[in-house]
Amino acid sequence: MRAKAKPEAEAITTEMTGAEVLIHSLKKENVEVLFGYPGGAVLPIYDALYRSPIKHILSKHEQGSIHAAEGYARVSGKPGVVIATSGPGATNLVTGITDAMMDSLPLVIFTGQVASTVIGTDAFQEADIMGITAPITKHNYQVRDVQDLPRIIKEAFHIASTGRPGPVLVDIPKDVANKTISPDYDSTIHLPGYQPTFSPNILQIKKLADAVGQAKKPVILAGAGILHANAGKELLTFTEKNKIPVVNTLLGLGSYPGQHPLFLGMGGMHGTYTANMALYECDLLISIGARFDDRLTGNLAHFAKNAVVAHIDVDPAEIGKNVPTQIPIVSDAREALRKLVDVDSETPDTEEWRSQLTENSKNYPLWKKTNTDEFLPQQVVELVHEYTKGDAIITTDVGQHQMWAAQYYAFTDANRWVTSGGLGTMGFGFPAAVGAQLAFPDQTVVALTGDGGFQMTLQELSTLQELNLPVKVVIMNNHTLGMVRQWQEAFYEKRYSHSLLPVQPDFVKLGEAYGIKSYKVTTQEEARGVFEEAFSHRDPVLIDCRVSGKENVYPMIAPGKGLHQMIGVKP
C-alpha cells in the first residue's frame, strides 16, 4: 500500500548505502533483534549496524544464529532475522533453513555475497546460495540493483510471515551493500503470483458442519497450524460445543490444554494408545493445520480407513498429499474454526465414543518403570514440569529426550514448545532456547537436550555467558544416542554401531569453563535439590542428569506398521 504522504523526516532523506537501507528497512519492519555472525561480504552491513540501535546477538557458529532465530520465531510468532556472510557463513545456515521450511517457521535471512563483478568466478568465499537454498526456502532473492532493496525486504517479510510461514533468503552482493542511493521506501509489494487464501469456502464449511452433525466417532487432529494462526481459543470453543476429542501432532502440542478431558494426547509413532486408536477407529477425522507426516500416520493403508477425512490447511498442497480427503478446506485455521462455530448445525452425540476413549486412557496410560532405583529420563521431564509449574518454554533436539518431553510435559499453553519436528535436527534445542529467551526475557526457558545433540551446538554456552541469559540447560545424559540405540536394539539385533558414547567431556567443568553454574545429578533426590536451586534464580544453569542408558521410548509403532499395531503399550 502506498503511503498517502511522505513523513517529513523521510522526504528529506539523504543518500544512503545499501547496507544503511537494509538497517533502515529492518527498523520499519519492527525488527528488535538480529541473530548473526560477521564476515568479509557483510562488512558494509555490520558497519551500518555499528551505528544502529538494533540488538544483534553474536552466536559462535552460524548454525547457532539460525536455530536461535527459529526459537525466537516459534514462540513470538514474529519472523526471526539472521545475517551471515557469503560462502561458509551462508552454507552453515542450510540445516536451520531446511528445519524452518519443514516446520513452517517465519525467517528472513540476509546473506552477504561476493561483489557482482566476480559472481560466477569462484571468488573467495563465493557459494551459489541461491541455487543451494532454492529447494529449502519459501522464496529467495538476489539483489542485483540496490534500488530494489527496500521493496525486496518488504516482500521478504511479507512472504515469510503470511500464508504458510517459511524462510525467505535475501542474498546481497557486497557492492550492492556499498552503493549509495536515495532510497524509495514507498515502493509497493507486487506479488501477483502470491495470494494465499485466508478465508474458507463457506459451502465446504457447511459440508464439514453436516459431517460433524452425523458423526458418531469424530476426532480432531490439531497441528502447528493452530499455533501459527493463533486459533487455540477457537479450537477449544468448537470442540467443547461439539464434544469432539482432540489429538495433537508433535508440533501442535500446546494448541490444546494438556489436561482437558477431551484431550487424548499426542498421536503417532510414540503417541498415546488412546490417541492412535482414536485416529484408527474414527468415522470423521478433522485435521487442522497438520500435514499427515509419516511419523504421525504410520502405515497409510491402516490410517483412518473408515473415516471421512476433512482437512483444513492454509497450504492447498498439503491437502490430499498423503491422505485422500473428502472435505478439503483451504483456509487460515482460526478463520475456518470461527466460521464452523458460527454455522448453525447439529451437534453430534459422542458420549459412547468418548467413554470408549476414556476407558482406553484408563487401561493404557503412558507408563514407565516403577520400583526401580534407577534415575529414569522420564523423571527428569516430570521434575522439570514440577519445578516450572508446567509453564516453561521447553526446547529440544530430536530423539528419545524429545519424545519423553512431548509425552510427559503436558503443555497447557500455546507457544511453550520448541522442537525440531519435520527435519529432526540434533543440536537444535539449545540455540533455539537462546532465541526463545530473547523473545521472552522473563519466561523460564529450559533447553532439554540429550548428551549427543548438546555436543553439536554447545559452543553457544558462550552466548549464554556473554548475555547472562537465564536459560536452564538440562542434559538428559544417557551416554548414548538413545533413539539410534533403541532402533538398533529393536531392529538390528542389539548391534550398537557407533551409538554408545562412553567417553564424554565433564559437562560440569565444561559449563564452568563458560562461567555457568553447572551441576551433575545421578539420582532423583539429588536432582530435586539442584532443580530447587536452579529454578529459583535468573542465571544460566547447566545440569548434567545422569539417567539410565537402557530406557526405550514406549509405546511405539514400528516402521511400516499401522496405528493399531502399537508395541509396549503396557509394562
Partner 1 sequence: MKRIVTATVINQSGVLNRITGLMTKRQFNIESITVGHTETEGVSKMTFVVNVDGDGKIEQLIKQLNKQIDVLKVSDITDQAIVVRELALIKVISNAQIRSEISGIIEPFRASIIDVSRESITVQVTGDSEKIEAIIDLLRPYGIKEMVRTGITAFPRGSQKSVTDIKQFSILN
Q: Applying CB under 8 A, which residues contact partner 1?
A: 130-131, 134-135, 138-140, 142, 144, 159, 191-194, 315-317, 320-321, 324
Among 432, 430, 438, 470, smallest CA distance to 454 is for: 430
- Rounded-to-integer distance, Cα 428 and Cα 397, Å: 5
Report CA 42 to chain centroid distance, whole Å. 28
At residue 309, the 3 state secondary structure works out as: strand
Contact 20, 49 (CB under 8 A): no
Angle at CA of residue 468, ends 465 and 470, nearest 5°: 115
Beta-carbon contacts of residue 336 (< 8 Å; ≥ 6 apart): 200, 205, 288, 312, 329
Tell me how far, at minimum, the Cβ of 141 lies from partner 1, in Å.
Answer: 9
Angle 400-408/377-387 helices, nearest 10 degrees? 50
Q: Which is nearer to partner 1, 159 or 220 (CB)?
A: 159
Residue reference for cell 514448545: 417
At residue 417, the 3 state secondary structure works out as: strand
- Rounded-to-integer distance, Cα 430 and Cα 456, Å: 10
Instruction: Give the CA count within 13 Å in the CB-facing half-sphere of 158.
Output: 15
Contact 508, 544 (CB under 8 A): yes
Angle at CA of residue 386, ends 384 and 391, nearest 5°: 80
Q: Which residues are catalytic?
A: 62, 124-125, 174, 483
Strands 139-142 and 167-173 turn out to be parallel
Contact 406, 42 (CB under 8 A): no
Beta-carbon contacts of residue 355 (< 8 Å; ≥ 6 apart): none
DSSP string, 127-194: --HHHHHGGGSSEEEE--SGGGHHHHHHHHHHHHHSSS--EEEEEEEHHHHH-EE---TTPPP--TT-
Q: Which is nearer to partner 1, 317 or 567 (CB)?
A: 317
- Rounded-to-integer distance, Cα 141 and Cα 464, Å: 33
Number of H helices, E strands in the chain: 24, 22
**Sheet strands (E) in 307-464:** 308-313, 327-330, 393-395, 417-418, 445-450
Q: How many angstroms separate the Cα of 182 from the Cα of each of 45, 147, 157, 297, 436? A: 17, 8, 22, 54, 37
- Rounded-to-integer distance, Cα 216 and Cα 282, Å: 8
Instruction: Return phi, psi of residue 412, to 5°.
Output: -105, -20
Q: Round to the nearest angstrom and report the end-to-end CA distance of the chain.
A: 61
Cβ atoms within 10 Å, residue 4: 5
Tell me how far, at minimum, the Cβ of 157 lies from partner 1, in Å.
Answer: 13
